[in-house]
Amino acid sequence: MSKVTVEVDSRWVKIVRSPIYWIVVTLQGVSITIAPLFLYWSGKGFFPPGEKQVVVPLCFAAIFIVGMFYMLLGSQVIRELRKAPKADL
C-alpha cells in the first residue's frame, strides 16, 4: 500500500474550511433522511396542494445541491489521483 498526496484547488480548501461546508453538511442530512420522507408523504397526499408546491421543489433542490457538491469535489480528487505519478528525483 502506498501513500498518495492529493493537491486540490485552493478554492475547494476555502469552501471546505468555511461555514458554507456546514450548510452542505446540514443539507446532506436533510437530503438523506427528511427529503425522501417528505417526497413520499407528498406522493401519498399528506400535504395540502399549496404546501406541496413548496415542499417538493425544496426536497429536490436539497438532494440536487448536495449531490452536485460532492460530485464536483470528488471529480477534483479523482482527477488528481489519475494523473501520472511524477518520477522520483
Task: List alpha helices for 1-89, DSSP H.
Answer: 10-16, 19-29, 35-44, 49-82
Q: What is the pLDDT of residues 6-61, one digit of tens each?
A: 888 899 889 889 998 899 899 899 899 999 999 999 999 888 888 888 989 999 99
User: The pTM is what?
Assistant: 0.74
Average pLDDT over residues 56-78: 92
Q: What is the arithmetic mean of pLDDT over 58-68?
A: 93
How many residues does this entry show for the chain? Answer: 89
